[in-house]
C-alpha cells in the first residue's frame, strides 16, 4: 500500500529555531507539493516540483522558507528562523502527471507549533 | 484569475440521504482537472474523485459522483446514502496549467443519525 510519508508528525519548537520537515513521495510519482493548512487561510500551496525541478514557490515566504528535492525519494521544507505565525499543519503530496490528470496523494502532515 | 469557490461553509444531512456539495471554479484554461478531497477529523486528506475538463461523462466512484456542468463552471459532489463516517471537511480543487492545484475553502459536512 504505497503512501506519502512525512516526518516528523509533530514538532514543537521555540521561535528562532530551524525546522526541517521531510517527505518521501510515492515511488514513481513525478510531482511533489508542499501545502500549509491553517484555520484562517485554509490550504495554501507553498511549493511544487516536477521531476525534482522547482516549478513554483511563489506561495512561500522566501526570506525564511526553502524547499528542495535532493533526490527522487526525499523532499524537504525548511524554516529558518521559525516564528509563531508559522504554526500550522504542513502537508506534502505527490502525484503522477498523466495528460491532464494529476491526482495528488497526501501525507499525514506535520503539525508544527512554534512557541 | 483561477479560483475555486465553495459557498457552503457547513452542511447537515440525515443518515442514508443524499447530499450535494457545491463547487464553482474560474479558469481561462481549456484543459483542466477537478478533484474532491475529504478531510476527516483525523486530519488526513483523502482523494475521492476526479473529473477532466474533456471528459464527456460525469465521474463516479462508489457512492460519490461529480455533477460536472462545464458551461456553468460547476463541479458539485454528490454523496449518495450518507453514512456517519462521511462527516468531514470536503475540499474541491482544480488542476491548472503547469500541474498547479488550487483548493477551495472547504465545506464541513455533518451526518446526523
Task: Tell me which residue has cell 494529476.
Answer: A102
Report the residue from B31, B35, B98 with minimal CB separation from A56. Answer: B98
In this predicted structure, the answer to whether residue B60 has a pLDDT above a threshold of 80 is yes
Tell me: the pLDDT tens digits for A38-51? 988 889 999 999 99
Length of chain B: 113
In the DSSP assignment, the letter for residue A98 is B
In the DSSP assignment, the letter for residue B97 is G
CB contact at 8 A, A77 and A90: yes
Task: Tell if the CB–CB gap between A100 and B43 is shorter than 8 Å.
Answer: no
Q: Residue A100 has what pLDDT?
A: 65
The phi, psi pair for B86, rounded to 5°, reads: -80, -10
Give me the residues of chain A with pLDDT under 50, please.
none
The shortest C-alpha distance from A43 to chain B (Å) reads 7
Q: Residue A40 has what pLDDT?
A: 87
Q: Which of A94-108, B66-80, B85-99 has the lowest mean pLDDT?
A: A94-108
CB contact at 8 A, B67 and B59: no
CB contact at 8 A, A78 and A26: no
Q: Residue B110 has what pLDDT?
A: 97
Interface of B with A in 44-103 (CB under 8 A): 44-47, 50, 52-54, 91, 95, 98-103
Radius of gyration of chain A (CA): 13
CB contact at 8 A, A43 and A34: no
When pLDDT is cut at 50, 70 and 90, the band that residue B63 belongs to is: very high
Amino acid at each position: 500500500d504505497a503512501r506519502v510519508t512525512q516526518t516528523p508528525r509533530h514538532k514543537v519548537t521555540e521561535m528562532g529555531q530551524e525546522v526541517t520537515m521531510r517527505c518521501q513521495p510515492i515511488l514513481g510519482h513525478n510531482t511533489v507539493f508542499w501545502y500549509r493548512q491553517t484555520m484562517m487561510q485554509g490550504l495554501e500551496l507553498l511549493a511544487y516540483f516536477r521531476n525534482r525541478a522547482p516549478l513554483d514557490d511563489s506561495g512561500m515566504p522566501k526570506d525564511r522558507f526553502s524547499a528542495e528535492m535532493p533526490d527522487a525519494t526525499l523532499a524537504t521544507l525548511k524554516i529558518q528562523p521559525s516564528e509563531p505565525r508559522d504554526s500550522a499543519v504542513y502537508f506534502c503530496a505527490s502525484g503522477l502527471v498523466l495528460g491532464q490528470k494529476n491526482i495528488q496523494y497526501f501525507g499525514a502532515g506535520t503539525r508544527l507549533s512554534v512557541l | 484569475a483561477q479560483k475555486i469557490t465553495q459557498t457552503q461553509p457547513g452542511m447537515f444531512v440525515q443518515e442514508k440521504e443524499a447530499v450535494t456539495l457545491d463547487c464553482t471554479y474560474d479558469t481561462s484554461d481549456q484543459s483542466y482537472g477537478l478533484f474532491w478531497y475529504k478531510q476527516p477529523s483525523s486530519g488526513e486528506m483523502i482523494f475521492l474523485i476526479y473529473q477532466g475538463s474533456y471528459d464527456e461523462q460525469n465521474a463516479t466512484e462508489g457512492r460519490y459522483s461529480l455533477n460536472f456542468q462545464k458551461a456553468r463552471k460547476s463541479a458539485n459532489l454528490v454523496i449518495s446514502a450518507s453514512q456517519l463516517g462521511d462527516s468531514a471537511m470536503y475540499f474541491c480543487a482544480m488542476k491548472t496549467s503547469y500541474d498547479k492545484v488550487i483548493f477551495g475553502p472547504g465545506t464541513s459536512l455533518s451526518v446526523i443519525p
